[in-house]
Amino acid sequence: MIRTRFAPVPSGVFTINDLHNALFSYLIAKHEKGEFLLRIEDINQEKYSMKAEQNIYNILKLFGLQYDNKPVIQSERLNIYKQYIKFLIENDYAYYCFCDEKQLAKERLEATSKNETYMYDGRCRNLTKEEVNNKISNGDKYSIRQKVSKEGTTSFHDEVYGDITFENKYLEDQILLKSDETPTYNLSNVVDDGLMNITHVTRSNEYLSSTPKYVQLYDNFNFDTPKIIHFPMIVDANKKINNDSIISLLNQGYLPEALLNYIALLGWSPKSNKEIFSLEELVEEFDYKHITKDSCYFDIEKLNWYNKYYLKRMVDEEYLKYIIPFIIRNCNMEGKDRDYVNKIALLYKEHIKNAMELVELIKIFFDNDIVYHDECRKYLKNSEQVKKIVLTFKNEIIKINDWNVTSITQCLNNVSEICNTPTKDIYMPIRISITGITQGPDIIETINLIGKEKILNRLG
């Protein structure tokens, strides 16, 4: 049975790349009716955040990425890692390193300043047992480093990048246990992958160069090396790793379905040209052999396209249940009943890309004053005909006693006739004069919902 794992560090925000990682790991497992496991890598307690851990659970649930079995919590497994460290020491696969951390940091900084890649030189690698015991007896601080094989090469097959070979002389003896006796990711991820019977290791390609050291550890522990699947990182417009927060995107009004659909297609190509996928359809079609190698750009406009699609296909009741809380949190609701707010929300359903865009657009219904941008001010002063249309509209509005769609329609017909202008040509001057913007939903419904009093105040 295929077993994959998602192994986040609960220390910061849950990013687009975190969701990408979780989704691909989930799809690889479920496509083959396997198991998707969750591992919380919380060993570094200084950076640990309970809120970040809870966000991991909440987001996976929200996006439907249900993990199998109980989560594996690394902070509860410290004794296990120490047993494996002992095994490595006893079998000469690791060694005690007594190097001063400040000195190593200084050396690393000097290498960086020379634009050189720093690699620990292994100066503690060949200490005798007697030298090691004496230093430990003296109370010298130490870490434990992997004794990487320095001869020959280490090769592995990546399911995306193919056969890869590294010359061992370029592999650094990485730290496995820090001086505070805390295991590092380099150790714990290999131990847990082995003990959890992970068959397919999935991670972003930033870890590709570290893989040969992990492969050596799998061999040291007599673990079967899992299939290795590296996939591309999602980058921003500057080609830097995109660290946008998923919660931030949700708070902007992007739907989980839209985010999931879009992110699934970053770095993976389906067999067909199909663009719309439910999670169930992704499980059915996802094949990791179609994961691409190149980094993928997160295009907010493409996400907007997906989100608009999913908003439009919602039934009205579902749409209102989702969208109204955004309006309540961000608009002045004084004197506004739910029926009125519902009408405004539905008026824009076919036009918006996300919920917060709606909030900005509907301020014309909630705020007493509106802002006219320079472009709109110039338009209203552009010609005597425009001025005439606006003034005529004001005069006809004043005459309306029974405020409804029918009377407003008649009002606009009157303006068209008095100004000798086709009805469609009077819409722009009127829209700009009462909303301050050039585009929007149906003008008659807009006038109706803004209300007579607000419109006359805005017309001056």
CATH number, domain of 433, equals 1.10.10.350
Q: At 332, which CATH number?
A: 1.10.8
For residue 200, give both structure tokens. Answer: 């397919």
358 and 418, same domain (yes or no): no
Q: 97: pLDDT confidence band, cut at 50, 70 and 90?
A: very high
Asked if pLDDT for residue 108 goes beyond 90, the answer is yes
Residue 382: pLDDT band with limits 50, 70, 90: confident
Quick check: 369 pLDDT over 90?
Answer: no
15 and 42 inside one domain: yes
Mean pLDDT of all residues in the chain? 95
Q: Domain range holding 318?
A: 314-366
- Indicate whether 330 and 302 sit together in one domain: no
254 occurs within a structural domain: yes
Q: Are residues 229 and 160 in contact, defined by beta-carbon separation less than 8 angstroms?
A: yes
Residues 322, 387, single domain; the answer is: no
- 148 lies in some domain: no
Instruction: Give pLDDT, residue 294.
Output: 86
Tell me the residue ranges of DSSP E strands in 45-148: 72-73, 94-97, 143-146
pLDDT at 194 exceeding the cut of 90: yes
Stretch 184-193: mean pLDDT: 97
Residue type, 327: I
Residue-wise pLDDT tens digits, 5-40? 999 999 999 999 999 999 999 999 999 999 999 999
AA identity, residue 217: L
Each residue's pLDDT tens digit, 246-305: 999 999 999 999 999 999 999 999 988 899 999 999 999 999 999 999 889 999 999 999
Asked if residue 359 is part of any domain, the answer here is yes
Instruction: Give the CATH number, domain containing residue 18.
Output: 3.40.50.620
Tens of pLDDT, residues 145-185: 999 999 999 999 999 999 999 999 999 999 999 999 999 99
- Is residue 324 domain-resident? yes
- Domain membership flag for residue 73: no
Does residue 118 form part of some domain? no
pLDDT at 237 over 90: no
pLDDT per residue as tens digits for the range 60-80:
999 999 999 999 999 999 999
Cα(33)–Cα(459) distance, rounded to whole angstroms?
64
Tally of CA atoms within 13 A in the half-sphere of 283 that contains its CB? 14
User: E strands of 108-161, at which residues?
Assistant: 143-146, 153-158
299 and 330 co-located in one domain: no
CA torsion 135-136-140-146 (nearest 10°) is 90
Residue 368 in this model has a pLDDT that exceeds 90: no
Phi, psi of 351 (to 5 degrees): -115, -20
Residues 302 and 263 in one domain: yes
State the pLDDT confidence band at 384, using cuts at 50, 70 and 90: very high
Evaluate whether residue 285 is within a structural domain. yes
pLDDT at 460: 85
Residue 113 forms part of a structural domain: no
Strands across the sheet with 3-6, in order? Answer: 3-6, 35-40, 72-73
Q: How many CA atoms lie within 13 A of 307 on its CB side?
A: 25
Report in angstroms the alpha-carbon separations of 441 from 301, 304, 313, 354.
Answer: 21, 18, 18, 16
How far is the CA of 74 from the CAs of 26, 78, 175, 260, 267, in angstroms?
A: 20, 7, 17, 28, 29
pLDDT at residue number 370:
87
For 98-177, strand residue ranges (E) read 143-146, 153-158, 162-167, 175-177
Number of domain units in the chain: 3
